[in-house]
Structure 1
Amino acid sequence: MPYYAATNGDIAALLVGILSIVVLIVLSTILINSNIKENSIKKILFLMLFIQIIIACIDNYITIFPLMGFDARAFESLAWFSYENNVNVGRGAYNYYILNPLYKIIKVRSAITIEVLNILFNLLTNLNIYSILKNLKIKKQLLVLLIFIVALSPISLIYRTGVLRESIIIMFISYSLKSFITFMLSKKNNIEALKSFIYIGLGAIFHSGVIFITTGYLIALLSGKKNQKIFQYLILILGAIGFILFKDTLLEKVGGGDIDTIIAVNNYTSLKMAGSGYLQSITTTSLGQIVVYLPLFMFYFLYSPTPDMFRGILDIVSFILNSSIYLYFTFYGFYLYKKVKNQLTLTEKKIIKYFFISIIFTVAVFSVGTRNAGTAMRHRDKIVPLLIVIFAIIKNRAILLRERRIYERRTN
């Protein structure tokens, strides 16, 4: 049922929800107008805001919105249970640190207030991506296109609106990338490098799998100049200590570091035998077999539902609106990279390399514990900011190269 139906028509909940939307609109208007120069991008972000508010209103007052069923309802109901019974229970950190405290503050069951918060997190994500692309001096037309894709991708909009942890995790990832890019462009601001790790750590509170994004960061720090060695060794030591102390949490997605549990997670029946399950005929019995099948797990994690999985119109729509975006960024991006790699600056090459490493490790970890398209679409949304940056650098260089060739033909 829609969230508001569970309140039995509580007027206080309705008023708090309306007030939340008004505050969101005012705050978002200030943020967009103060951070964005291009009118076309302002329009895109306001459209994004409007669509997400409509999704939230439908989900709260009319009917359960598609893709916002079981998990979202479980998070919200446990948060309200915690408030009513003066306990702190839930499905992990998202309940403990966000939902439960929020209900204690507002004191009414206004689920739309939670969704409004997620909409704000998503706006901050898009503003961070915009800032990153501006710092990388991406051409305006490409900038507008990429913001359009990342802001208005339909399935991402749904996941980043519902009572799910995706929006806050991706927000912290975007802040981390923003700091790391600033560090890479200046090579002097070690504070920004440290902040990039801190932001990923904050995101990892809500899902430990994202910690593997820092693999690219670590390699970047360990391949610097000699005068950076002390800082690099410090990061490596802290990373090693953190991994030793918290490896069970960090490896949650692959079974907490225990090989038998890793195998069990990879073969979790309710995941791979779900309606949108993939590679259902594959059962792994050893870590070695998981490694052998890992490329397949990663491929389906990135691109499912694939045509061989189509069961009906919903799978086809999901492929068009989601899987095709990842296919476009990866395969077309790789094609362009082969054409322009010799024209990229050293810094651009490094950013691409480090982010590519981060994506590979993160996708590998998530793919082991994900065996159905629905879960895959949610989890792979976390790597979108990295894909956007990589593609933006490559495509921008291709545009500059084409413009230079056109100019040379005209002047000769």
Structure 2
Amino acid sequence: MRIFLPLLLLEAFINVVFNEQINRETFAVVYILINSLALIGWFVKKSKNRTIFMILTFGLLIRLAALWYDQSVALLPFNTGDSYKFHELAVETAEALPDVLLEHFTGFYSQVLGVVYYFFGPYRFFGQYLNVAFVVLAATKLIDIAELLKIKDKNTILMIFLWLFMPIPFLMGYALIREGSMYYLIVLGVYHFLKWFEKYNPIYIVLTILPIYIASLYHEGALYILPAMIYAFLFYDKKKEKINFNFINIMFLIVAVIGAIIIVTQNADSFIDKTNAETGGGSTYLAALEINNPIEFIMYAPIKGFYLLYSPMPWLIRGGLDILTFVFDTCLWGYATYNILRNFRKIDTKYKMLFLAIFVAGMVYGMGTHNTGTAMRHRNKFMSLMLISYIGVKDKYIDSKKEQEKVGGELVC
């Protein structure tokens, strides 16, 4: 980001100064080429070995190829519907600037995209390119997280590969939707959350909350990643390196639960209407589950959250894309969850809090989600938390145990 953002600002300045003298569409294509070369240079700096560099570079190039195909041949999945709305609102925003400053427009992502369009032109492909850039920049930040956690190279490679090539996140990574920038902001927040466990500097608390808060402006559900992190900031015992359950933090949890119940009760009609809203399409699930009061709302939240995090369920598979998602996305989420829960009692607090954050946010998102397509889209906002938790547990506990067993077996022989 230290290289990419200054480049974008310089390019925006050139477009403003020479607005009448240049063809902005041609320059947008040129900027994509320049910025892509800068990203590849950044990959050289961030890669610990050739394998990681190749994964990062191929991850960028295949997304650029998908972007070209989407623009020149046929629309790819996830680049319809919402993406058209985002584009149209962004164009309106760009046309109103600088005289009208966004007040009458809705949707933070469309506003941000409108500012981009104002400087670079109303070109869908450039907005899509920025999402591609955010996804690969998030991959380089995952490398920083791997170094922070002292994860072995083979597991770092696995984490980066999964991040860049899991099918559904890949298909969302070039589309004109808000996912790419949200992915980056959430990874940035998680990085500083983990950094706090190393240095306990209050600045890392701010740097954890700020990017996740900005991500919540794109979609407010992202905010619910924070409660587990804030709980860790408040009650983590730095000397014992764990959270001790005592009277104070147990009371805090009780107050938090009571507060949640009060909020749900006071806004029952609004919450229940969203939960029971009808949705079209063949991927609808839990259609018969009707919630009529706040108690049922709270009781069914885990079920709705489970469906969001592990869709499509085998009995809901409709076709090829669902099969692909089930095999390469859902099964991985299930396998990662199994390994985290299997080692839950002994794993570090930071992994426990990331895992808890996934399920708290999953329940919140799940209550307003009614179909597999939307569930897959939302759950991938938490993919970085799941990957970091799983790879961290795999590296420190699962692989280490296997190595010890192997050494023990050799000594016996």
User: TM-score, normalising length from structure 2?
Assistant: 0.83
The alignment partner of 2:136 has SS state of helix
Q: Indicate how the Cα distance of structure 1 residues 256 and 212 shifts in structure 2: closer, same or farther if over 3 A, else same.
A: farther
CA–CA distance in 2 between the matches of 1:389 and 1:73? 33
CA–CA distance in 2 between the matches of 1:224 and 1:331? 25
Does 1:308 find its partner at 2:312?
Answer: no
Q: List gaps (5 residues or longer) in structure 1.
A: 1-10, 228-235, 237-242, 343-347
Does 1:94 find its partner at 2:109?
Answer: yes
CA deviation map 1:153-172 (0-9, x unaligned): 12102212111111111111
CA deviation map 1:278-306 (0-9, x unaligned): 11111111121122222221121011111
CA–CA distance in 1 between the matches of 2:38 and 2:51? 19
Q: Which amino acid aligns with 2:181?
A: I
CA deviation map 1:106-129 (0-9, x unaligned): 2x3311111111111111211111
The 5 A counterparts of 1:210-225 are: 210-225=222-237
Does 1:265 find its partner at 2:274?
Answer: yes
CA deviation map 1:4-27 (0-9, x unaligned): xxxxxxx94652342132023112
CA–CA distance in 2 between the matches of 1:313 and 1:390? 29
2:45 to 15, 27, 34: 34
CA–CA distance in 1 between the matches of 2:24 and 2:350? 47
The 5 A counterparts of 1:4-403 are: 12=23, 14-86=25-97, 88=102, 90-96=105-111, 98-106=112-120, 108-186=121-199, 188-225=200-237, 258-270=267-279, 273-335=280-342, 337=343, 341-342=345-346, 348-396=347-395, 397-403=397-403
Paired residues of 1:305 and 1:318 also in contact (CA < 8 A): yes
CA deviation map 1:174-214 (0-9, x unaligned): 1111111111123x322112211112112112111111111
CA–CA distance in 1 between the matches of 2:60 and 2:160? 13
Paired residues of 1:265 and 1:369 also in contact (CA < 8 A): yes
CA–CA distance in 1 between the matches of 2:89 and 2:196? 40
Shift of 1:255: 8.9
Per the alignment, residue 8 of structure 1 pairs with none
CA–CA distance in 1 between the matches of 2:264 and 2:106? 17
The alignment partner of 1:284 has SS state of coil
Shift of 1:85: 4.9
CA–CA distance in 2 between the matches of 1:56 and 1:257? 45
Q: Which amino acid aligns with 1:127?
A: T
Q: Which amino acid aligns with 2:51?
A: S
CA–CA distance in 2 between the matches of 1:169 and 1:256? 30
CA–CA distance in 2 between the matches of 1:257 and 1:365? 17
Shift of 1:318: 2.6
CA–CA distance in 2 between the matches of 1:328 and 1:13? 47
Aligned residues: 368
Q: Indicate how the Cα distance of structure 1 residues 117 and 256 shifts in structure 2: closer, same or farther if over 3 A, else same.
A: farther
Once superposed, what is the RMSD of the aligned Cα atoms?
Answer: 2.6
CA deviation map 1:333-392 (0-9, x unaligned): 333x16xx54xxxxx521122112211211110000011111111111111111112111
Shift of 1:317: 2.4
Does 1:410 find its partner at 2:410?
Answer: yes
CA–CA distance in 1 between the matches of 2:123 and 2:50? 34
Paired residues of 1:72 and 1:163 also in contact (CA < 8 A): yes
The alignment partner of 1:364 has SS state of helix
The alignment partner of 2:326 has SS state of helix
CA–CA distance in 1 between the matches of 2:349 and 2:304? 27
CA–CA distance in 2 between the matches of 1:66 and 1:56? 12
Paired residues of 2:228 and 2:357 also in contact (CA < 8 A): yes
Range that drifts further, 274-283 or 254-263: 254-263
Q: Indicate how the Cα distance of structure 1 residues 51 and 210 shifts in structure 2: closer, same or farther if over 3 A, else same.
A: same
Q: Which amino acid aligns with 2:393?
A: I
Q: Indicate how the Cα distance of structure 1 residues 392 and 379 shifts in structure 2: closer, same or farther if over 3 A, else same.
A: same
CA–CA distance in 2 between the matches of 1:153 and 1:90? 34
Paired residues of 1:56 and 1:161 also in contact (CA < 8 A): yes
Q: Which amino acid aligns with 2:292?
A: T
CA–CA distance in 1 between the matches of 2:108 and 2:407? 55
Q: Which amino acid aligns with 1:95?
A: S
- Percent identity over the alignment? 24
Shift of 1:90: 4.7
Paired residues of 2:94 and 2:122 also in contact (CA < 8 A): no
Q: Indicate how the Cα distance of structure 1 residues 166 and 256 shifts in structure 2: closer, same or farther if over 3 A, else same.
A: farther
Paired residues of 2:265 and 2:294 also in contact (CA < 8 A): no
Range that drifts further, 20-29 or 78-87: 78-87
Q: Which amino acid aligns with 1:216?
A: A
Paired residues of 2:79 and 2:175 also in contact (CA < 8 A): yes
Paired residues of 1:170 and 1:382 also in contact (CA < 8 A): yes
Shift of 1:145: 1.2
Paired residues of 1:297 and 1:367 also in contact (CA < 8 A): yes
CA–CA distance in 1 between the matches of 2:206 and 2:86? 32
CA–CA distance in 2 between the matches of 1:295 and 1:103? 41
Q: Which amino acid aligns with 1:142?
A: N
